Amino acid sequence: MSLDSQRSTPVGFRPGIGARVSRAAALAVLIGLAVLFLIPFYLILRNALATDAEITAPGWMWFSPDPAWDNFSRLFDDPSVPMARSLLNSLIVAVLTTVGTLFLCTTAGYGLARVPWRHANKVFYVVLATLMIPGAITFVPSFVMVSSLGWLSDYRGLIIPGLFSGFAAFLCRQYFLGFPKELEEAARVDGLSHWGAFWRIVIPNSGNFLAAIAVITFVGAWNSFLWPLVIGRSPESWTVQVALSTFLTAQTVSLSQLFAAALVAILPLVFVFLFLQRFMVQGVAQTGLKG
């Protein structure tokens, strides 16, 4: 299903003069709202390319006449903020979380959907039950567990507890239930095991779905804050969100550097959005339809 497909008649409206007027009004409202929604992005860009004096000057300045590109070099040279390190940490955490979640949740979803074991239902009910538990409840005991494992300020502590998403496994199961059975059966007749059919037939034919899960997981991991804040006790283990937050709450801060950091932090995801939005939208729509 494509969200771009046009209805012949928009919901609740028939062509006619009234409809045309209301369509024009809707367009005007949408343009206004779009401008409003883009203001924060504009502010990040404007402030990241201005000097502190320009930002705090009286009177509104739309853009700095002389873009202060050196805000970025100063940001990465500043020894008090581990910006480069935190970006690297975020990248490692987000990529490994995405790869791990994809592997664990697709295999689990496939097993739950397709391997006809007698007690598969009971296992599935346990997975469903965990969906009802808000993450906020488990963060205190999870923290205690991770600290007693010695995983504080460590990639293991940042990544591993986040890999076992009941929600992603549930989505994968729903998806594989709808996967055409004939394809797999042909493979099974040809002598492939479940495992072989999964890797050679099912996975290569599920590109869009996997991309959707991957993008959503990546965005979630990149933007997550509470868990990295709790786990990342030393500055070397800060993710970019944690680094930004300490930067933000510090007493002495250069506004232009702060916004340069914000720009650097959102840039990867803005690219992800621009190029992979199709998958995101599909993925979100799927979570809505199936959830």
Residues 124 to 183: which contact another protein by CB under 8 A?
124, 126-127, 130, 132-138, 140-145, 147-148, 160-161, 163-164, 166, 169, 177, 181
Contact with another protein (CB under 8 A): which of 84, 91, 95, 230? 230
Per-residue contact string for residues 190-229; x = within reach of another protein by CB under 8 A: -x-xxx--x--------------------x--xxxxx---
Contact with another protein (CB under 8 A): which of 81, 87, 171, 244? 244
Per-residue contact string for residues 64-93; x = within reach of another protein by CB under 8 A: ------------------------------
Distance CA 149, CA 160 (A): 12
Residue 24 buriedness (CB in 10 A; 0-12 / 13-18 / 19+): exposed
Where helices occur in the chain by DSSP H, the ranges are 17-48, 52-56, 70-77, 83-114, 120-131, 135-148, 155-159, 166-177, 181-189, 194-197, 207-223, 226-231, 240-249, 255-290
What is the DSSP-derived secondary structure letter of residue 202? I
- Of residues 283, 111, 84, the one with CA closest to residue 197: 111
**Cβ of residue 253: shortest distance to another protein, in angstroms?**
9
Distance CA 258, CA 262 (A): 6
3-state secondary structure of 144: helix
Cβ–Cβ under 8 Å, residues 205 and 183: yes
**Cβ of residue 60: shortest distance to another protein, in angstroms?**
6
3-state secondary structure of 285: helix
Contact with another protein (CB under 8 A): which of 21, 57, 88, 250? 57
258 in contact with another protein (CB under 8 A)? yes
Tokens linked to 15: 């062509």
What is the DSSP-derived secondary structure letter of residue 43? H
Contact with another protein (CB under 8 A): which of 158, 241, 257, 260? 241
4 in contact with another protein (CB under 8 A)? yes
Candidates 36-44, 63-71, 72-80, 91-99 — which segment interacts with another protein by CB under 8 A? 36-44
Distance CA 138, CA 157 (A): 14
By beta-carbon proximity to another protein, the closer residue of 138 and 205 is 138
Candidates 33-41, 70-78, 79-87, 201-209 — which segment interacts with another protein by CB under 8 A? 33-41
21 in contact with another protein (CB under 8 A)? no
